[in-house]
Structure 1
Amino acid sequence: MSAQQKALFLTKKHGDWEVGTTEVPTPGPGQLLVKVEATALNPLEVGIQVRGILVEDYPAILGVDAAGTVEALGEGVADFAVGDRVLIEGSFINGKGTFQQYTLAEAVVSAKIPNNITFDQAASVPLGLATAALALFDQGSAGLPPPWEESGKGRFAGKPFVLFGGATSVGQYAIQLAKLSGFSPIIATASPSNAPYLHTLGATHVLDRALAPDALLSQITQLTSGVPVEIVFLTVQLPSLELPVSVLAPGGTLATVWPVIDDAKRAAAPGKKVAGVYGSANTKATRETGHSLYRSIPRLLASGELKPNRVENLADGLKGIAAGLKKMEKGEVSGVKLVVRPQETL
Structure 2
Amino acid sequence: MSSLSSSQLQKALVLPSRRGSFVLSSIPIPRPQKGQLLLKVHACALNPVDWKIQTRGIIVQDFPIVLGTDISGTVEAIGDGVEGFSVGDRVLTQGVFDNNCGGFQQYTLANADITAKETNISFEQASTIPVGLGTAALGLYTESIPKDIDPLERGSVGLFPPWEEGGRNKYAGKSVLIFGASSSVGQYALQLAKLSGFSPIITTASLHNTAFLQSLGATHVVDRHLSFAELQSSIRQITSKPLEVIFDAISLPETQNAAYELLSPGGCLAIVLFSSINSANEGGKRIVKVFGQVNFPPENRKVGSALYKRLTRLLEEGAIQPNRVEVLPRGLEGIVGGLDRLKNDAVSGVKLVARPQETA
Normalization by structure 2: what TM-score? 0.92
> 1:265 offset after TM fit, Å?
4.7
1:119 equivalent to 2:134? Answer no
| 2:347 counterpart of 1:342 | no
What is the DSSP-based 3-state SS (H/G/I as helix, E as strand, rest coil) of the residue aligned with 1:300?
helix
> In the alignment, is the contact (CA less than 8 A) between 2:93 and 2:116 conserved in 1?
yes
Which residue in 2 is equivalent to 1:34? 39
Shift of 1:51: 1.3
Does the CA contact (< 8 Å) of 2:66 and 2:99 recur in 1? no
| 8 Å CA contact retained: 1:266, 1:273 | no
2:285 aligned with 1:280? no
Once the two structures are overlaid, the 10-residue window that deviates more, 301-310 or 145-154, is: 145-154
1:95 deviation in Å?
1.7
Aligned to 2:150: none
- 1:285 counterpart SS class: helix
Matches of 1:290 and 1:267, distance apart in 2: 33
Pick aligned residue for 1:60 from 61, 65, 69: 65
TM (norm. structure 1) is 0.95
Q: Hey, what's the Cα distance between the residues in 1 that align with 2:194 and 2:348?
A: 22
1:310 aligns with 2:315: no
* Alignment match, 2:270: 255
How many Å apart are 1:93 and its aligned residue? Answer: 2.1
Bigger shift: residues 201-210 or 25-34: 201-210
Residue 286 of structure 1 aligns to a residue whose secondary structure is helix
- Quote the Cα distance in structure 2 between the aligned partners of 1:167 and 1:61: 28
Question: Alignment partner for residue 19 of structure 2, among 9, 14, 21?
Answer: 14
Aligned mate of 1:289, from 293, 298, 303: 303
Aligned partner of 1:103 among 105, 108, 122 = 108
Q: Aligned letter for 2:231? A: L
Structure 1 residue 94, shift from structure 2 partner: 5.2
C-alpha distance after superposition, 1:98-131 (max 9, x if no partner): 10000000001000012x2111110011110000
Superposition pairs for residues 1-346 of structure 1, below 5 Å?
Answer: 1=4, 3-93=8-98, 95-114=100-119, 116-139=120-143, 140=145, 141-224=156-239, 226-240=240-254, 241-258=256-273, 265=277, 268-270=280-282, 271-283=284-296, 284-346=298-360
Q: Report the alpha carbon displacement of residue 247 of structure 1 after superposing the two structures with TM.
A: 1.2
Instruction: Find the aligned partners of 1:221 and 1:150 in 2 and give their Cα distance.
Output: 34
C-alpha displacement of 1:193: 2.3
Partner Cα separation in structure 1 for residue 241 and residue 160 of structure 2 = 20
- The 1-side partners of 2:42 and 2:204 are apart by 33
Q: Counterpart of 1:268 in structure 2: which amino acid?
A: A
Read off the aligned partner of 1:286 and give its amino acid letter.
N
Deviations 1:128-183 (A, max 9, x none): 00000010011131110101122221011111110111111000001110001111
User: Alpha-carbon deviations, 1:48-76, whole Å to 9, x = none?
Assistant: 11211001222211000110010101111
Q: How far apart in 2 are the matches of 1:267 and 1:80?
A: 50
Separation in structure 1 between the aligned mates of residue 114 and residue 244 of structure 2, nearest angstrom: 30
Once residues 137 and 4 of structure 1 are traced to their aligned partners in structure 2, the CA distance between those partners, rounded to angstroms, is 40
* Structure 1 residues 308-329: Cα deviation after superposition (integer angstroms, max 9, x where no partner): 1111100000000010011111
Q: Which runs of 5+ in 2 are unaligned?
A: 146-155
Question: 201-210 or 34-43, which moves further after superposition?
Answer: 201-210
In structure 1, what is the Cα distance between the partners aligned to 2:253 and 2:229? 14
Amino acid of the residue matched to residue 249 of structure 1?
S
1: distance between equivalents of 2:212 and 2:168? 23
Distance 1:12 1:133 in 2: 32
Identity %: 51
Cα offsets for 1:187-216 (capped at 9, x unmatched) = 111112222211111111111111111111
- Verify the 8 A CA contact 1:266 1:274 in the aligned structure 2: no
Give how far 1:269 is off. 4.1
Gaps of 5+ in 1: none
Q: Please tell me the root mean square deviation across aligned C-alpha atoms, in Å.
A: 1.4
Deviation at 1:8, TM superposition (A): 0.1
- Relative to structure 1, the CA distance from residue 253 to residue 172 in structure 2 (aligned partners, 3 Å threshold; closer, same or farther) is same
Query: 1:91: Cα distance to partner?
Result: 0.7
